[in-house]
Amino acid sequence: MSNRMVCREASHAGSWYTASGSQLNAQLEGWLSQAQSTAGPARAIIAPHAGYTYCGACAAHAYKQVDPSITIFYLMMLILMRLCVIIFVTPQFKTQRL
């Protein structure tokens, strides 16, 4: 099994967030600079993920609590079904530092 990481193209650029990398970075930095930190880093967060256009400012308050030295993130998806709950934990994914 290969350890090579596969990254897909951004499918929602220009709709759920700006297509410009520099504009997106400026938006993220702006939202994060306005968010307040709590007393210590969070052990876990729950943040909206509808698209930065819709919830970027709100999500920044959650992500502001994350310790930036941690480089592994997991994305969990919850699907409610009639008789059970299924929780998916995605494998580690690549993030880009600017």
Q: Is residue 4 one of the residues assigned to a domain?
A: no
Mean pLDDT of 40-53: 81
Instruction: Provide the pLDDT for residue 67.
Output: 81
Instruction: Provide the pLDDT for residue 8.
Output: 75
Q: Is residue 48 one of the residues assigned to a domain?
A: yes
Q: Which helix (H) or strand (E) holds 23?
A: helix 21-34
Q: Is residue 74 one of the residues assigned to a domain?
A: yes
Cross-strand partners of 54:
none
Question: Could you tell me the pTM of the whole model?
Answer: 0.61
Measure the CA–CA gap between 78 and 86, rounded to whole angstroms: 6
Ranges 47-51, 63-67, 71-75, most confident: 63-67
Domain that holds residue 63: 21-89
Q: Is residue 6 one of the residues assigned to a domain?
A: no
Question: Which residue reads 């998916």 in tokens?
Answer: 88
Among 58, 30, 33, 34, smallest CA distance to 45 is for 58
Q: Is residue 97 one of the residues assigned to a domain?
A: no
Number of compact structural domains in the chain: 1
